[in-house]
């Protein structure tokens, strides 16, 4: 990741006809900014469709009906070798995913990059208060690895390696802070703690739901039920409000007990047993359980 100041401003210069991607339950409008040829634009639209449909497959429909994507063409720099150096979701006037894309890179490099999967995963959750941003960043960081593996862009070994490595970065980062304290310090001071402590909570919740239901229920299915009850939402949710709502969609709560255990606790959740759980490789990375 580079800082945003190194990147060009996303000036609004959408072409007269912005491409639209038909997704299950949604139409995604794509706007390009900067120097992008028609051939590049068509290839990028195909890549975005692939990444968006990774998220559609979780519940059967894309989480929000009218998402927009702003693709900002970004030259590669020697400081930054990522093909998608920056992405974010903005929500004023509907959900917009901004993706800074190095259009000089071969399209295969975009398919191998997790940024679009991460940003589209954010749309499964409503806007969450910044004090609980470790929850929203955590769910997206968990799903970026799950979705890239399900789509075949990572092998199961690679997905497991990346998830383990991310969680290890989180464990090593600012061990004196709890997740809530890390969120108060901000992304600049506690990035890995924020992203990966929330991913640990998502992983632990997913496995607990699957274990309790003998594989009949899952985080995918709970998020599908949340989508039905509560999305799209044009307001900001508290982190605990969101987790309590997920618990209300289960017979027995999973999320708030995990929150109470970890949110104000320094250190990092113990994920060793979770990473060794066969359900990760055999269920989570392979197929989703049927929603509802």
Minimum CB separation of residue 89 from Zn ion in Å reads 7
Which of 137, 283 has the CB closer to Zn ion? Answer: 137
DSSP state of 5: G
Size of the residue set binding Zn ion (CB under 5 A): 2
CA distance 135 to 243: 9
Which of 51, 140 has the CB closer to Zn ion? Answer: 140
> Cα 116 from chain centroid?
8
Does position 125 bind Zn ion by CB under 5 A? Answer: no
CA distance 189 to 229: 35
Which of 84, 250 has the CB closer to Zn ion? Answer: 84
Minimum CB separation of residue 209 from Zn ion in Å reads 23
Which of 137, 206 has the CB closer to Zn ion? Answer: 137
Minimum CB separation of residue 137 from Zn ion in Å reads 5
Residue of minimal CB distance from Zn ion? 140
Which of 90, 292 has the CB closer to Zn ion? Answer: 90
Beta bridge partners of 20: 29
CA distance 95 to 24: 17
Does position 140 bind Zn ion by CB under 5 A? Answer: yes
How many other C-beta atoms are found inside a 10 Å radius of the C-beta of residue 136?
Answer: 26
Surface-to-core class of residue 96, CB atoms within 10 Å of its CB (0-12 exposed, 13-18 middle, 19+ buried): middle
Q: With CB under 5 A as the contact rule, which of the stretches 12-20, 138-146, 149-157, 182-190 interacts with Zn ion?
A: 138-146
Report which secondary-structure segment, H or E, holds 165.
helix 156-172
Site string for Zn ion, 79-118 (x = CB under 5 A): ----------------------------------------
Which of 143, 277 has the CB closer to Zn ion? Answer: 143
Which residue, among 110, 102, 167, 109, has the nearest Cα to 138 in the 3D structure?
A: 167
Which residue, among 219, 81, 48, has the nearest Cα to 140 in the 3D structure?
A: 219
Contact 71, 45 (CB under 8 A): no
Minimum CB separation of residue 251 from Zn ion in Å reads 30
Does position 123 bind Zn ion by CB under 5 A? Answer: no
Minimum CB separation of residue 248 from Zn ion in Å reads 25
Residues that bind Zn ion (CB under 5 A): 137, 140
């Amino acid at each position: 990741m580079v800082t945003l100041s190194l990147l060009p401003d996303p000036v609004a210069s959408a072409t007269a006809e912005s491409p639209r991607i038909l997704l299950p339950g949604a139409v995604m409008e794509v706007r390009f900014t900067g120097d992008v040829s028609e051939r590049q634009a068509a290839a990028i639209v195909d890549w975005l469709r692939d990444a968006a449909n990774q998220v559609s497959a979780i519940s059967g429909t894309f989480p929000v009906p009218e998402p927009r994507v702003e693709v900002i063409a970004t030259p590669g720099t020697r400081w930054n070798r990522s093909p998608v150096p920056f992405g974010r979701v903005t929500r004023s006037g509907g959900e917009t995913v901004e993706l800074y894309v190095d259009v000089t890179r071969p399209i295969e490099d975009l398919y191998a990059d997790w940024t679009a999967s991460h940003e589209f995963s954010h749309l499964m959750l409503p806007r969450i208060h910044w004090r609980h941003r470790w929850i929203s960043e955590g769910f997206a960081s968990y799903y970026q690895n799950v979705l890239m593996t399900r789509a075949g862009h990572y092998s199961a070994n690679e997905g497991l390696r990346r998830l383990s490595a991310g969680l290890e970065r989180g464990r090593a980062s600012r061990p004196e802070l709890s997740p809530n304290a890390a969120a108060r310090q901000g992304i600049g001071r506690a990035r890995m703690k924020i992203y990966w402590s929330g991913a640990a909570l998502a992983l632990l919740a997913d496995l607990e739901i699957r274990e309790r239901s003998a594989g009949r229920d899952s985080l995918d299915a709970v998020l599908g039920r949340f989508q039905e009850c509560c999305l799209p939402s044009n307001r900001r949710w508290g982190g605990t409000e969101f987790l309590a709502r997920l618990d209300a969609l289960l017979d027995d709560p999973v999320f708030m007990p995990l929150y109470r255990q970890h949110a104000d606790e320094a250190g990092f959740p113990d994920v060793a047993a979770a990473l060794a759980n066969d359900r990760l490789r055999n269920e989570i990375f392979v197929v989703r359980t049927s929603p509802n």
